[in-house]
Chain A
Amino acid sequence: MNPTWLVVLRKELKDMVRDKRAVLAIAYYAFGVPLLMAFVLFLMSDDRGEYDRLQVAIVGQEQAPGLVSFMANAGIEVQEAMVGANPEKLPSGADALVILPKTYADDLVAGKQVKIRLFVDETTKGGAKRGSVVERTIQAYGAQIATVRLVNRGVPPTLTMPFSVVTADLANSQFVVKMLGYSLVLLFMFAPFVSGMSVALDALAGERERQSLQSLMAQPVGARDVVIGKWLTVAIFSFAGSSLAMAVNLTVLNFLPHDVLPFPLKASVPGLLLAFSQMACLSLFVSGLLLTVSIHAKSFKEGQTYMSLFMMLPVLVGYSKMYGDAKIPAAANYLPIFADVESLSRILFVGEPSAEFILAAMVSSLIGAALCIGITTRRLTSEQLLADA
């Protein structure tokens, strides 16, 4: 004779596998999200590539080997251009057009000011940035020439340049990377919610709606066995969905060129095994939460309303980590989802799993799951609920 929770589990699995909503939720999340990520990275890659792919067309470059060499050292590709005196658009493939006067070399030797015309396309933010980089590079080359002239005349160049400002762009190297990294982890946090929601709603709110709960509870099966059977069903769907989402996303990201990927993926095989174990515990917790919400709804539709409010939870946690990490009390980082975000980030982006946060994520999830099962079981034995069922 099978334990009754196992009988409930087997029936629920058989029932839910045939539920198109439950299966589609997993498929949509596992395969739809990578497409979304690819789109975001495509947008990001345009900005990131501006330095690598910057190309300048120069009219009269044969007169300015020094400038061409300086630009090449700055990572700018230079191409010869043949355009009229008043161009209306940039040459094909060029981010900027520089027109040097025919007297460029002579004026430079004579110490005269050389008038260089720079044409850029500021239609897009990226185009404006590229034009600005070219302008700064030309100015820097001019400053270098000035320095050489002053040195030749015995004047220390520091007299005319009292400040030396070195600017480091933290956005690309830290904040944006952190934000994108947390966004990816947040997508993984959503997965057990999305994958288990429909199953959880059908498991309890659905039983109430189709009025089968009363019949079920009149059988010789304890409320706890019913809840455990249904909870494990939801957890299996949640874990299947989140594992698939994580596997597909990480596989796709792994195949992307490294210069397109805004954050480094450093996960090792043992790290990934830990990540999946952690997701299993999180799925158990999320399934418990979803069932607790589901049992308070009398119908699938009512449950969907509660769930849509409830889905704000991972969003809030994710944004708190992204924008207000420093303001979050330290203890909160040991709660489920908070600890999961922290731990997964370290496994995936640092390559060094944190035993402290992995343990916190797993233990807090299991405690949370036990609490949810207790609440749901208590509610299932409520006479009011059974009288209404």
Chain B
Amino acid sequence: MAKKQKGIFSKYDRNPKLFDELYDQQGEVNDVYKKLFKLYGQHSIEDYAELNGRAKASFFNQGITFRVYSDEKTNEKIFPFDLFPRIIGADEWAELERGVVQRCKALNAFLWDLYHEQNILKDGVVPMELVGSSENFLEQMVGFDPPGGIYNHISGTDLIRHTDGKFYVLEDNIRCPSGVSYVLSNRTALKRALFGVFNHYNAHTVTNYAENLLDLLETVKPAGVDKPNTVVLTPGMYNSAFYEHSYLAKTMGVELVEGRDLYVENDFVYMKTIHGRERVDIIYRRIDDQFLDPLEFRKDSTLGVPGLFAAYRKGNVTLANAPGTGVADDKAVYTYMPEIIQYYFGEEAILHNVPTYHCSRKEELEYVLDNIAELVIKPVDEAGGYGISIGNTLSPEEIEEVRNTVRAHPRKYVAQPIMSLSVHPTYIEETQSFEQRHVDLRSFALMGSDREFVLKGGLTRVALRRGNLIVNSSQGGGSKDTWVLKKSKKNAG
């Protein structure tokens, strides 16, 4: 099994029950990591600690922060970044990418169907109650054809690697998935700190995200517009992802606006500028459906633009993602993804789904109530890791509490077996050593009317507390730069 390593890995404690990204089943360092491992081995842990400090400074200087919402106060924090990159080989990535694209296209086909003929419900493949009872089904979108037929222009697919070594999709995010700016800043920080190491690898760039985003958004411009004017619509600087909104606007070379910067006239959207008004054709909106237009949705929304939805329905402005996508990234719909892919494309799902129990089904509810200790209980409509209970971490009293909550609102919960996320060596400041920490992977996919783009990289999130399985930044997670290797003999190892 594991050989004792010298140098900075001398204290690395490998738990053989966990899938370690660095090692293969025989305890040998994986081919893709060999070169890195050798390079790191030439340094002491003190060198590494110093580098780590520099990387942190780089993040601080770039202003890369996020906000954590809690009951007491709202804090702005530096996003913890780990210098040991996650490396994914070309072949493995190619498969992941095909799977992600298949899934995004299936979600788009599903959304089109739900807002038009509803054949998948009529054929009983997905139960109508599932959609009917969803608060995210937007009646105002029924019968509307979004420009280019695209709903989820931007998708974030959360993947994990289980102990069996296979990737599983944990959830699809097709409302306003965030995190891509961290991918780009992680790369910047890593290259600054470890250019010598990065340079030994032939990894795909991630800096082409913004240009692809703008390109693909422009494929769904309103009819009759030659050179579309695109903006990023943010809820403002108090939003947890404000850094990302400003970053994307800057890198796309477009304006970052708040609702109050826009107004609607004759069903066209205009931006107020010091040179007078400018027509807006495409809005990459980072505010939720319910806040888009106070005349149409939540009356108390000060984030949106009165009349925006009317302009959208008239076809004079494109919203990305389309309103109403939330009905399809519901955690209960997730469980039907293999059937949804089969239904629209007649294909097997390339990426695995985690088996899921629907508490809305009586037999499955019984199973869940009896086995909470072995399950993860999730609310179907909360994002960001809020409201999740992991059975084997709960006290008997807490289990009873969860049981009562689920019993009271079965439709609101699904349960999944506790998947063992793979682990990755991660530098831990407190112990000044590398330790195994659980990781996941959020991939970012874009869809336009004529092509798709998957960012060759992604956000590898790390649960920084030992044993913790929740990787969301709002729950104290960090992240790693993620290298997707180019297909070449040089990297084949």
Say whether A and B bind each other: no
